[in-house]
Structure 1
Amino acid sequence: MPSPELAPPAAWWARAARPARPPWPVALMVRAAVGMAVPLAAGLLTHRLDLGTFAGLGAMHATMNDRVEPARLRAARIGTAAFASAVGMLVGTGLQHAHAGVLALGTALTVTAFVSGALSATGPRGSAAGMLLLVSAALGSGMPLPRPWWAAAPLLLAGAVFVTLLGLPGRARHRPAADPRNRALAAAYEALGRTLADLGTPRGVASRRVLTARLNQVQDLLPGSGGPRAARPHRMYEAALAATEAATGLLWARRPVPPEVAEVPARLAAAVRRGGGEVAVPHWRPDTPARRALDAALRAAADTVAGREPRLGTAPAPPPDPWRLRARPLSRASVRYGLRVALCIAAGAAVTAGYPLSKSYWVPMTIAFVLKPDLGSVFLRAVSRSVGTVLGVALTAALLPLTTNEWALTAIAALCVALLPYATAAHYGLNTVAMTPMALVLLQLGGQSGAAEFWPRVLDTALASAVVLLFGYLLWPERPRHRIEPRLVTAASALRAYLDATAREGEAARAGATAREGETAHEAATAHPGGARPQAQVWLRRTAYRSLADARQEVQHGLAEPPPTGRLAERWLPATAALERLGGAVAAYSAQVRYGGRVPDPAETDRVRRALDELTAAAREHRPPTTAAARPTAPHDPALSALGRAADELELLLKPS
């Protein structure tokens, strides 16, 4: 029987409607509110609210891309998105200023949509820039022009620059706790402590997934950082990865650790926030290879946090670039996505040309938001956008009869923008609920509409969502397997690379033990620093678990869609869980190799390789497994092969029903 953690909800809509519960990002929310309020207030005081509105839009676009991260990464993230937004605004306002006809405007927006989609498919930075390029082009083509008309784009940039400046570190920038890298590292160590505390309990798997997400966040903050100040966070991160590898092996083996050991990562986190200090690791008697691996990793982490440079046994970290391109700008994948967005915009333009819409730019703007490629299911976003718009319009219609004072409306807009950082992390529908009143209030401030015109925005949103569902989802030649199964292939390939590196270490350990009679396997494996871990297993494991997290996220998105997508995701869910357990088995195998446990026979490693190859082939051929491997309930015997049990699980998963 599958474990309870794999059981999908009774109804797909229940999962789709359930919001997450992220922490409140207070700093981001304050910056967002000030970033919107100041430009609007300046516009009111100078009687140039038309200029203040565009600066406020720029501040909102910056808020949508604001993160708690080092200043250089943050400036690059916001700057790229703001530049694309300004270019789009220049295109849109230029078309409006030239009095472009319906055909010319539709053609120009379609071409812009193709560029936007192709850019969006290149990676996270391109996704944000591509969406805002199209959104701003649509807004610029329909919003009342400022005086002079070309001022809209520079003011958009000015609003984004203002938000960027608000986030620059102040006098406290030299405090360790103010460094975003230290804060992320501390959060990762805390997540490690929760994982250790949950070993052997049903909560262990969920805790490990949170730990993976925290390590992903740290990884995204470290690239491009140089100098002595960056070397120490890198070492602390590597120590956390080594401890995570050991904890993953213990989680797979269902072996808890003493409470005083599980408390060490929390003390490490506190020391990281202080900027360093001694952290005592209790003296205990680790009696399995995985426990010995954890003990060694925690002591190495304590040395690193204290400022010493322990030997972590890892190769230098590769540059993990969060801005890496998923596809080249003119690759098949980017061109394909560009055509998808362009088709939807062209269809939307054709529909709006036949109907008298008062704010025709609302349709392409909505299409751009719904089709952003890294926000999850297109189906779920389209439905959530429509429902969120209805709720947002209802909320605005209830508020505006109470006051039409411009200063009160400015405060409402600032409050709505302040909610965006939290709402975006919680649920796409909540994001729309917060964004819709803000947009309508800006229209009201600019004298562009009254309360009577708010409800037509629901019709516009429903129309745009219908276009996306029809042309970008139902009729588009892409099925759920094109999203889910490639991620599983990537994860399985990364796991195989991790397994191969660990197997080579095992072979070296066996050969070294034979050549050096009387040495332990661990001594033989670590006798030569240059050959102990030549393939940097810890980084291969990091790559594998990041790929697994991406695969699971795609499956979870699929579960929130109605059949057949939800049914397909449900069939692939056991395979995703089995791959995660295999990662734990390889981590346990690595500990067995390095800390005196049983080294599996090459035949057992080959069994796992064959099972991985079969699973990869099934994913490529769109053949989800028909059975589920049962999750073991008893602790693993360290005298037995970790890979042997993992092979048993995979073979059961792939067994025809």
Structure 2
Amino acid sequence: MTVTAIDATTSPFDLPRRLRSFASGGQPLRVLLTLGSLMALCALTGHQDAVIPLFLGAIASALSETDDSWRGRLRAQTVTLACFAAVSFAVAALFDTSWFFIVALSLAAFGLTLLGAVDARYKAIGYATLILAMYATLSMDHPDGLAHGRWNAPKLLLAGAAWYGVFSVGWAAIFPAQPVQALLVKLFMVLGGYVRFKASLFEPLRGVDIERKRLSLAQMNTDVVAELNAAKESIFRRIQIRKRAPTGRISRYRGLYLIAQDVHERASSSHDDYNALADAFFHSDLLYRCQRVLGLQGIACQRLAVSIARREPFDVGTDTVQALADLRSAIEHERANATTPQRLALLASVEALARNLAQLDGQLAGASQPSAQAGRTDMGLFDRSPHGWRDSVERVRRQLTPKSALFRHALRLSVALFAGYVVMRVIHPAQGYWILLTTLFVCQQTYGETMSRMGQRVAGTALGVIAGWAVLQLFPQPWLQSLLAVAAGVVFFANRRERYLLATAAMTQLVLMCFNQVGDSGMLLVPRLVDTAIGSAIAGAAMLLVLPHWQARRINELAAGAMRAHAGYLRQIVGQYKTGARDDLPYRLARRNAHNADAGLSKAVGDMFREPNFVRPRAGVVLRFLIRSHTLLSYLSALGAHRGALRAGATPGRVEALRAAAESAAVALDGLAMRLALDPAIVTDAPAVVEISPAEAAAREALAELVGPGDESDPAARLFRTQLTLVWLQIDALRDHADEWLLKAGAEAPEAG
């Protein structure tokens, strides 16, 4: 199974181009139109000195942009321009007052960073406002910055920002569904990759490192969850503004999103231990059949992404139907030859897997008519946006504690900017604000991202300086340099998220070309490189010295949150085994919360491994905990995928015993969450073994006694019992890892502080 199967519907050269253009969401084109028109206006009017502030204002406005409907974007643009006006005129007023200026800038950095607690929109606005403040200082600090009056630069910055806002709002009005389309393309591409990798687990090979593959799955699941969340928020903003049921493309895209949620749940589910399956069916092609079906379904997800990008009808094809028929035939053959109870029990798990794959295929087939999802009883999406200004203030207030990662980042950034200003005043007070701008760009919330930005920023600036020098020598014509400046701006916005080094080089090129329109930027080449190195070093030092928020020391909080979310998901599943399957909002919300918590834990573990060794002495235990947590979620997903009302059957009390065992498992997960949330300083004397309550012991004993003839007559109850048994095995392993983890943390607590 190779990616060539996807390319059967499109040219191998056409697909990457189309996907990149859709994934960009049109922003590079908006930047091209904005910068190109501004450059043309300045050239025609002879005001080349206005290019720098106009360009910088437009760039800051583009950095503040988030996905939204045109009405939402208009409101956001209004707030953005108000913030831009406040900081740009404040910079102009305080620019000559030195220490008053940097104190005000540091306080603004603290407050605007905390604004990110409200939601992603205000986070982008706050960050872009800080960037505009630095752009204002660059404009004021230029030798000709005050030639046309103190207030000229702020006005031009605002004009550039407003001009980009016109294109931004207009684009959102003309192409209202394009961002949703782009996000769904990315979602199904990432989901398809996840499904295809999941297929690699079904290899009947002995000695395969399943734990390593599960770790990779947990990391890939983080990407899938991020894309699901982005698509959901984009759809919700467009539904929210209409105040009525969506129609047309938005209705279709909402249906596709709900299909993606269901496919994700079914694809992430596990029905038994993979090593046990490989041992039992080592001499059979049964697992290869499973692998083929799942691999074809992953390819189908990616073909669906192509059809969304092209706005073409989707046909799931017949390959998977035939593969499912072959799988059922292989199961029947195995059943006819199975002789031991253990083999029959494992075969039952494969049968459950086959049913799950068949239902997954049905979901993909439904993507040809996604609007039919409107027949669901509950199509609601959960609103995570702030409800009024009181809610916004409360969100910010909750971050006003040193325990908050955002609070620490805000304080760290403020101190870094203050330190950068002091260094600038000592080294070269004139035209040294590039140090502060670099510090602002490099100083990120996590250690790993900050260190990565440091290297890429310095290397990108060096590359941009070298390229800029070459361009200045080879193309001295001002009009050609103007075109290159516009092109550099487009390259920056096309690459700033995934290729930061190239984006930095492009932005350096843009600044050099613009400054050369009003002076000799050749004199700025070496100072820009030196200032970048200094600003990066200050950001790195601040990350290490000013309230470092090491992921290794907060993993227990995230792990506790994951256990609570898993417990909530399990309770929702159990409720539907009582009343019957309903894909309602409470169930989908519990499922999203569980996956979000698991993805958050996985991301934090990834960030932890980018931190210095001395702050993560328990990394091995944390890694094993993550693998077990994700495995637990996969078993819960299997329970959710097969949920439905259980029949009482011929065995009295069987169903109630299963429900009691499930509720006991949820209680155990809540208890594990409480234990993980303990302060490590008080864990040193805690017992190494968690005492099992009488209720839990009774529930587990009753679950073990349910194996019997009733299994054959009620496959749903048998699957419920099998999955619950697997869930309890993971809970036991998680308890062991938590004990090892917490006891080590408690021993280190006096030293860690």
Interval of TM-score (by shorter of Structure 1 and Structure 2)? 0.7 to 0.9
Distance in 2, matches of 1:354 and 1:572, equals 45
Map 1:613-652 onto structure 2 (within 5 A).
613-614=671-672, 617-618=675-676, 621=679, 638=719, 641-652=722-733
Give the direction of change, closer, same or farther, for the CA distance of 1:195–1:435 in structure 2 (3 Å limit): same
**1:317 paired to 2:381:** yes
Structure 1 pair 569/390, CA: closer, same or farther in 2 (3 Å)?
farther
Does 2:569 align with 1:498? yes
Q: Against the structure 1 CA distance between its residues 223 and 535, is the aligned structure 2 distance closer, same or farther, given a 3 Å change threshold?
A: closer
Q: Is the 8 A contact 2:567 2:669 kept in 1?
A: no
**Which of 95, 99, 108 does residue 112 from structure 1 map onto?**
108
1:163–1:615 CA distance, 2 compared to 1 (3 A)? same
Higher mean C-alpha displacement, 138-147 vs 371-380: 371-380
**Alignment partners' CA distance in 1, 2:469 and 2:386:** 41
Instruction: Write the distance in 2 (CA, Å) between the matches of 1:33 and 1:374.
Output: 32
Change (3 A) 1:188 1:362: closer
Letter in 2 for 1:397: W
TM-score between both structures, scaled by the size of structure 2: 0.69
Q: 1:619/1:171 Cα in 2 relative to 1: closer, same or farther (>3 Å)?
A: closer
Please show how residues 115-514 of structure 1 align to structure 2 within 5 Å. 115-141=111-137, 142-143=141-142, 144-145=145-146, 147-166=148-167, 179-202=178-201, 205=217, 208-225=221-238, 226=242, 227=244, 228-229=246-247, 230-250=250-270, 256=291, 258=293, 265=301, 269=305, 274=311, 282=321, 288-289=351-352, 291-293=354-356, 295-296=358-359, 299=362, 302-303=365-366, 305-306=368-369, 307-309=371-373, 311-312=375-376, 316-321=380-385, 328-331=395-398, 332=400, 333=404, 336-373=408-445, 377-447=449-519, 450-476=521-547, 478-481=549-552, 484-506=555-577, 508=578
Asked if structure 2 preserves the Cα contact closer than 8 Å seen for 1:65 and 1:81, the reply is yes
User: RMSD between aligned alpha carbons?
Assistant: 4.1
- Counterpart-to-counterpart distance in 2, 1:536 and 1:270: 32
Partner of 1:3: none
Do the aligned partners of 2:51 and 2:514 also contact (CA within 8 Å) in 1?
A: no
Q: Distance in 1 between matches of 2:192 and 2:80?
A: 37
CA distance in 1, matches of 2:459, 2:529: 9
Say whether the 8 Å CA contact 1:416–1:435 is kept in structure 2. yes
Q: 1:88-139 CA distances to partner (integer Å, 9 max, x unpaired)?
A: 222212323xxx2322222232232232333245442233222232222233
| Matched residue, 2:4 | none
1:41–1:52 CA contact under 8 A, matched in 2: no
Q: Distance in 2 between matches of 1:172 and 1:339?
A: 38
8 Å CA contact 1:121–1:326 kept in 2: the answer is: no
Contact 2:50 2:156 in 1 (8 A): yes
C-alpha separation between the residues in 1 aligned to 2:393 and 2:220? 28
Q: Could you tell me how far 1:456 is from its partner in structure 2?
A: 1.9
Indicate the larger mover: 208-217 or 368-377. 368-377
Structure 1 residue 645: Cα displacement = 1.7
Other-structure match for 1:514: none
Asked whether the 8 Å contact 1:380–1:560 carries over to 2, the reply is no
Is contact 1:315–1:534 with CA below 8 Å preserved after alignment?
yes
Q: CA deviation at 1:218?
A: 1.0
> Equivalents in 2 of 1:161, 1:125: separation in Å?
17
Q: SS of 2:41's equivalent?
A: helix
The answer to which of 427-436 and 266-275 deviates more is 266-275
Q: Which of 540, 547, 552 is equivalent to 2:590? A: 540
List alignment gaps of at least 5 residues for structure 1: 1-21, 510-524, 527-531, 627-636
5+ residue gaps, structure 2, are 1-18, 202-212, 275-289, 329-349, 648-653, 689-717, 741-753
The answer as to whether partners of 1:93 and 1:137 remain within 8 angstroms in 2 is: no
Please state if 1:602 is matched with 2:680.
Answer: no
Q: Deviations over 1:478-528 (max 9, x none)?
A: 33346655444433332222122113333x25xxxxxxxxxxxxxxx25xx
CA contact (8 A) 2:438 2:532 kept: yes
Alpha carbons 1:239, 1:312 under 8 Å: kept: no
8 Å CA contact 2:561, 2:673 repeated in 1: no
Superimposed CA distance per residue, residues 360-410 of structure 1 (whole angstroms, 9 cap, x where no aligned partner) = 322222222223548963333334333433333333233323333322222
Q: Encode CA deviations 1:297-349: one digit per residue, 9 max, x unaligned.
A: 65466557524356546563322449996973344146554433322222222
Kept in 1: contact 2:189–2:302 (CA 8 A):
yes
- Structure 1 residues 275 and 353: alpha-carbon distance in aligned structure 2, compared to 1, 3 A threshold: same
Q: Distance in 1 between matches of 2:118 and 2:453?
A: 20
The answer to whether the 8 Å contact 2:42/2:50 transfers is: yes
How far off is 1:82 after superposition? 5.0
Give the counterpart letter for 2:233 in structure 1.
D
| Bigger RCO of structures 1 and 2 (CA < 8 A, at least 6 apart) | 1
Give the AA of the match of 1:539.
L
Look up the equivalent residue of 1:602 and give its one-letter code. A
Q: Which stretch of structure 1 is more off in the superposition, 397-406 or 63-72?
A: 63-72
CA contact (8 A) 2:184 2:305 kept: yes
Tell me: CA distance 1:618–1:379, structure 2 relative to 1, closer, same or farther (3 Å): farther
Residue of structure 2 aligned with 1:552, choices 602, 619, 627 = 602
SS of the aligned residue for 1:343 comes to helix
Task: Name the % identity.
Answer: 21
SS at match of 1:328: helix
Deviation at 1:155, TM superposition (A): 3.1
Matched residue type, 2:434 = W
Q: TM-score, normalised by structure 1?
A: 0.77
1:419 Cα deviation (Å)?
A: 1.8
**In 2 relative to 1, CA 534–233 (structure 1 residues): closer, same or farther, beyond 3 Å?**
closer
- Give the Å deviation of 1:201: 0.6
User: How far apart in 2 are the matches of 1:322 and 1:429?
Assistant: 35
CA distance in 1, matches of 2:429, 2:554: 35
**In proportion to residue count, which structure has more helix?**
2
Q: Give the number of aligned pairs.
A: 598
Cα deviation, 1:3-29, whole Å, max 9, x if unaligned, reads: xxxxxxxxxxxxxxxxxxx94656433
Q: Residue 236 of structure 2 aligns to a residue in which SS?
A: coil
The answer for the alignment partner of 1:581 in structure 2 is 631
The Cα of 1:543 is off from its aligned counterpart by 2.5
Distance 1:151 1:293, change over 3 A: farther
Instruction: Give distance in 1, aligned partners of 2:435 and 2:378.
Output: 52
- Mark the structure with the bigger radius of gyration: 2
Residue 84 of structure 1 contacts residue 132 of structure 1 at CA under 8 Å; is this kept in 2? no
CA–CA distance in structure 2, aligned partners of residues 165 and 153 of structure 1: 18
Distance 1:381 1:346 in 2: 20
Measure the CA separation in 2 of the matches of 1:369 and 1:65. 14
CA distance 1:491–1:54, change in 2 (3 Å): farther
Structure 2 contact 118–395 (Cα < 8 Å) conserved: yes
Aligned-pair distance for 1:588?
0.6
Determine the structure 2 residue equivalent to 1:19: none
Contact 1:93 1:145 in 2 (8 A): no
What is the deviation of 1:247?
A: 1.8
Determine helix, strand or coil for the equivalent of 2:382: coil
